[in-house]
Homo-oligomer: A and B are copies of this chain.
Amino acid sequence: MPAERGCRAGIVVTGTEVLSAIISDRNGPWLSQRLREAGIDLIQILIVGDRPEDMREALEAQARAGADLIVTSGGLGPTADDLTAEVVAGFAGREMVLDEGLEERIWKILEPLRVRWPQLDEDAIRQSNRKQAVVPVGATVLEPVGTAPGLVVPPADGTEGPTVVVLPGPPRELQPMWETAVKTDAFRSATVHATEYRTGVLRLFGIPESEIAATLRVLEADGVPLDRLEVTTCLRRGEIEVATRYEPDAESAYERLVAGVSVRHADTLFSVDGGTIDDQVAELLLAGPTTVATGESCTGGLLVARLTERPGASAYVLGGVVAYANEAKTDLLGVPEELIAAHGAVSTEVAVALAEGAVERFGSDLAVGVTGVAGPGGGTPEKPVGLICLCVLAADGRRLVRSATLPGDRGTIRDRAATVGMHMLRRLLLGESDGPDAAPVEAAPGTLDGPRTSA
């Protein structure tokens, strides 16, 4: 548990477009994580429109809730409805004044714009520029990343209240400016009581969330001081994430938690350092070096898109064939027509043939074949919506073949099928493979190894 007092913060996201859900807020979650890392307890995230009275009320609400620090995003643009700086100045009890040096620096930033669009009205630009250079007296100015400066605004001298960090709305401006803000003296004095925390993340695949809850109860009964750890468990894209925050002197408690989960869930725990399945597969492929290709049906390219997501993916991804039509399976990946006729396009046999075709056509070391019923139509009693069949195959013949029935809608089934493919790739890369004559494994929903019961 955090120290009795510590340092508390609130986040105020402004913008009618965010409140109306026309654009989604990326700043609240991002700032939440930064505060957490900085050992500052977040009380609430408040999203309000661009009206100054709503903004002022939001700041007052954070102060009432006991915030030592308030972080705002948005409302720093050059137009008349961008009022954050002024509202914050009023809240902190500080006058607004023109900072002439800042005005000149913003003018320089605008120069390329003026050269590119000479038809723009210079007076109008001057006016916008000046508006952005009017700041609360005594505030620390954070130099613009775009054209808007940020601010760190302590309460007026002789008064009490939270310090406000004022940041622009665009994430590409907000994020680097936050790094500048945390280094200012004003920020440091407002957060002097922040607690030092460490964090750890475990990831598991193929296990229901309730089993982790059961494990935590067992560990607690065994005397692991879980009250020293803030453990949060969540299901994300079919995987379980166990995120823990703790103070440095609870390190041994965290180690006991990790050891306990490792023993009880050895077969489903795949990451103890926070690395994702995508990180692990990329590292294993690079380390080989091993090349990979895909032969996809129901995932429609999601698996190869995911494999090529990270920079440098061309070192190990040769490509993929999305064979949506049956003719494409036959023409582009050599899946025999008779095989499809005999077993159906959604079958472990066809998944194997898709992987074989990909290895052969791309000349890759490994391939993943995946086929399934993504729905919402096309299900039958034997092959319901959500049935997926996968094969990961090495050029030397080692392979894993699995089928499972996934819950959820079309998008979820497609996404989860790609996740299953990533986990199967990891297992093959780590040396696991089915025996030469093994029958395909029929796995429980979201797992790779068949139904399991509670320990």
Interface set of A (CB-CB < 8 Å, partner B)? 16-17, 19-24, 28-30, 32-33, 36, 42-49, 54, 57-58, 61, 64-65, 117, 119-120, 232, 234, 236, 241, 243, 293-294, 296, 299-305, 307-314, 317-325, 327-328, 331-332, 361-363, 375-377, 410-411, 453-454
Contact = CB atoms under 8 A, between A and B. Distances in A.
A119 B344 CA distance: 38
B308 A318 contact: no
Given A42-B19, A322-B304, A454 B117 contact: yes
Given A302-B301, A305-B305, A318 B325 contact: yes
Given A117-B454, A319-B332, A236 B23 contact: yes
Contacts of A30: 21
A324 B313 contact: yes
Contacts of A308: 300-301, 322, 324
Contact of A318 (B64, B236, B293, B328): B328
A32 B44 contact: no
Contacts of A64: 57
A453 B305 CA distance: 36
A319 B325 contact: yes
A126 to B, nearest CB: 17
A188 to B, nearest CB: 24
A302 B117 CA distance: 34
A211 to B, nearest CB: 11
Interface of A is mostly: mixed
Contacts of A411: 309
Contacts of A363: 327, 331
A434 to B, nearest CB: 27
Given A57-B65, A294-B322, A322-B322, 13 more contacts: A16-B232, A20-B232, A23-B234, A42-B49, A46-B47, A299-B305, A300-B308, A301-B305, A309-B410, A317-B324, A317-B325, A318-B327, A319-B324
A90 to B, nearest CB: 18
A29 B36 contact: no
A159 to B, nearest CB: 23
